Amino acid sequence: MEFDIVYVRDLVGTIKDKNAVVVDLRDKKEYNQGHFPGAVNLPIDETDIYENVLRKDRYYILYCDHGGSSMQLARYLGRRGYKVASVIGGYAAM
């Protein structure tokens, strides 16, 4: 597998263990209505920017609404050498 899976119950521990950056893939409106504390917002519809913004020496934990989009992007980035994980169930599970 090119990326990791993170369950909500393990999210805080994984962030600490990996010194991870949490990335919210939802649009700005959804992000502004509520997000995981400390998460940065990089909407999924701006995927062409990811390889210009993310560094390969950092660990990223991605989440979206329910987990599908973050899993697809994690797979894409993982195949390109990024260290990434997707939150199972997304923000809805939080």
CA distance 57 to 49: 17
Task: Given the residues 22, 39, 61, 64, select the one marked as catalytic.
Answer: 64
Rounded to whole angstroms, the Cα distance separating 56 from 42 reads: 16
Task: Tell me whether residue 64 is one of the annotated catalytic residues.
Answer: yes
The total number of residues shown for the chain amounts to 94
The residues carrying an active-site annotation are: 64
